[in-house]
Amino acid sequence: MKFTIDSSALADAVAWAARSLPARPTAPVLAGLLLEAKQTSLTLSGFDLEVSAQISLDTDVEEPGRVLVSGRLLADITRALPHLPVTIATDGPRVNVECGSSRFTLLTLPVEDYPSLPSMPTVSGLIDGPTFTSAISQVAIAAGRDETLPALTGIRLEIEGDTLTLAATDRYRLAVREIPWKPEQSSISATALILGRTLNETAKAMTSATEVELAFSSRDGAVESLVGFSGAGRSTTTRLIDGEFPKYRSLFPDDSATSAQIEKASFIDAVKRVSLVAERNTPIRLAFSSEGLTLEAGTGDEAQASESVDAQVTGEEILIAFNPQYLVDGLNAVVGDYVSMTFVSSSKPAVLTGMLTADAKPDSSYRYLLMPVRMAG
C-alpha cells in the first residue's frame, strides 16, 4: 500500500474515525484503524462493536492495499504533521509515514483478525443536516439514563411517508419532534429505537454535512438491527435497541382548560432564581391566573421564594407543580422567544411548544410534554 495525501485532511479524517475506537478493547485489533487504499480513494474505518465509523477521502493511490494500525498512535502522529503532503507506505510488517522532514514508523496489527464491518444498509432517504442535528438534541434531553429500562434510554425514529418523527421519554417528560425528509419511496413506513447517547454523538459527527442520508436495514417494514447515517464522505452505523418504546401519541391531551404564553428568557431566569432557594429537586409551583404567572418554591416559613412573571393566560386558573430542572430543559428546547403552555388540570401533563414572537402561532413540530409533581397537602 502506498499513497500521498494532504496532511491536514488526513489528520481531520483520522481524528474523526478514531473517535469511535473503544476505550477498553476486548482484543488489540479493535484499537486499530483500518486503512484501505483503492485506485483514487482512501477509506479509514473504526469499529468498537457497537458503532462503526467510516470516512473516505479522494487521493492518488500509487499502490492499493489494506492495513491496520494503532488508531490512537496514528492520531497522535497526524495531529503533529506539518502542513505538507504526507506519504504513507507499507514496508513488511511496518508502515512508514513521511511528511516534509518528519519520519515515523508504526507497527501493523493483524488485519486478518479484524472483524468484518457492518455493511451500510440501503439508503432510505435524505434529511437536512442541521435540522436533523438540532432535532436530535431537542429530543435527547428527555431520554432516560437508567440502563435497566433500556427502551427508555433510546430515541425513537418513526418514518411515515415524508415525515420523520423523533421521540424520547424517561416517563417524567416526553419530547417529540417532527421533521420533513425526502424518502426514497413515498410509501415508506418504518421505526427504529437508537440509544440516545449514541445518536447524539452520531449527530455531532455529522454536523459538517448539509444533507444526511438515513439508511435502515428494513425487512417488511420492520427495521432489523442497524441504522446508518452518511454525509460529506462520512458514514456511521449504529446498533438498534431491541425493545418496545411506550405508545406515546395518546399521552398528548386532546383539549386544554388553560393556556398561557410567556416570554421565555424571563421565565427561565425566574424558575432558576426561585428554585435556588428550595432544596435541589424540590418542585416549583406555578399559579396561572388572569393576573399572570406566579412562581413559588419551598415549604413552610423558611426558605420560601416567590416571583411573578408576565403571562398571557386564557381559560381557567390553575396551580401546578413541576420538577424545576425538567421545566428548564423543556423551555430551553422549544424554539422561539416565547413559550406556549397548555394544561388540562394540575394532575395532568402540560404541553410546551415554542413561539417565535408574542403573536406567532405555537410551533407544534416540537412538543415537550411534562408530568406535574403532586403537591403536598
Considering the rule CB under 8 A, would residue 150 count as an interface residue with other proteins? yes
Task: Give the separation between CA 144 and CA 131, rounded to whole angstroms.
Answer: 23
Q: What would the grid cell of residue 371 be?
A: 408530568
Considering the rule CB under 8 A, would residue 66 count as an interface residue with other proteins? no
Residues 355, 365: contact at Cβ < 8 Å? Answer: no
x/- contact string, 238-257, with other proteins (CB under 8 A)?
-xxxxx--------------
Which of 82, 100, 115, 161 is close enough to bind other proteins by CB under 8 A? 115
CB of 48 to other proteins, least distance (A): 9
Q: Which stretch binds other proteins (CB under 8 A): 58-66, 150-158, 164-172, 332-340?
A: 150-158
Task: Give the separation between CA 157 and CA 138, rounded to whole angstroms.
Answer: 13
Binders of other proteins among residues 71 to 100 (CB under 8 A) are: 72-74, 76-77, 80, 97
Phi, then psi, of 80 in degrees rounded to 5: -95, 5
Of 119, 21, 31, the closest CA to residue 69 belongs to 31
Q: Which stretch binds other proteins (CB under 8 A): 12-20, 134-142, 218-226, 287-295?
A: 218-226
Considering the rule CB under 8 A, would residue 221 count as an interface residue with other proteins? no
Q: What kind and span of H or E run contains 159?
A: strand 154-160
**Helix 324-333 and helix 264-277, axial crossing angle in degrees, nearest 10:** 160
Which of 39, 92, 103, 377 is close enough to bind other proteins by CB under 8 A? 103
Cβ nearer to other proteins, comparing 50 with 58: 50
Number of residues located near other proteins, criterion CB under 8 A: 46
Considering the rule CB under 8 A, would residue 101 count as an interface residue with other proteins? no
Residues recorded for the chain: 377
Q: Which stretch binds other proteins (CB under 8 A): 6-14, 37-45, 113-121, 255-263?
A: 113-121
Q: Which stretch binds other proteins (CB under 8 A): 111-119, 126-134, 158-166, 205-213?
A: 111-119
Task: Give the separation between CA 174 and CA 323, rounded to whole angstroms.
Answer: 14
CA 23 vs. chain centroid, Å, equals: 21
Q: Which stretch binds other proteins (CB under 8 A): 34-42, 103-111, 296-304, 326-334?
A: 103-111
Task: Give the separation between CA 199 and CA 205, rounded to whole angstroms.
Answer: 10
Which of 15, 85, 114, 251 is close enough to bind other proteins by CB under 8 A? 114
x/- contact string, 195-214, with other proteins (CB under 8 A)?
x-------------------
Q: What kind and span of H or E run contains 168?
A: strand 163-169
- Scan for cell 417565535, then name that residue: 356
x/- contact string, 260-299, with other proteins (CB under 8 A)?
----------------------------------------
Grouping H, G, I as helix, E, B as strand and the rest as coil, residue 147 is coil
Q: Cβ–Cβ contacts within 10 Å for residue 151, how many?
A: 15
Q: What would the grid cell of residue 159 be?
A: 418514518
Q: Which stretch binds other proteins (CB under 8 A): 130-138, 224-232, 289-297, 341-349?
A: 224-232
CA 99 vs. chain centroid, Å, equals: 37
Which of 207, 225, 266, 332 is close enough to bind other proteins by CB under 8 A? 225
Task: Give the separation between CA 295 and CA 284, rounded to whole angstroms.
Answer: 7
Considering the rule CB under 8 A, would residue 153 count as an interface residue with other proteins? yes
367 CB-near residues (< 8 Å, 6+ apart): 175, 176, 252, 351, 352, 353
Q: Which stretch binds other proteins (CB under 8 A): 26-34, 162-170, 307-315, 334-342?
A: 26-34
Cβ nearer to other proteins, comparing 82 with 243: 243
Task: Please classify residue 359 by burial: count the beta carbons closer than 10 Å to its beta carbon, then call 0-12 exposed, 13-18 middle and 19+ buried.
Answer: exposed
Binders of other proteins among residues 31 to 50 (CB under 8 A) are: 31, 47, 49-50
Instruction: Give contact residues for other proteins (rule: CB under 8 A).
Output: 25-31, 47, 49-50, 69-70, 72-74, 76-77, 80, 97, 102-107, 109, 113-116, 118, 147-148, 150-151, 153, 195, 224-226, 237, 239-243
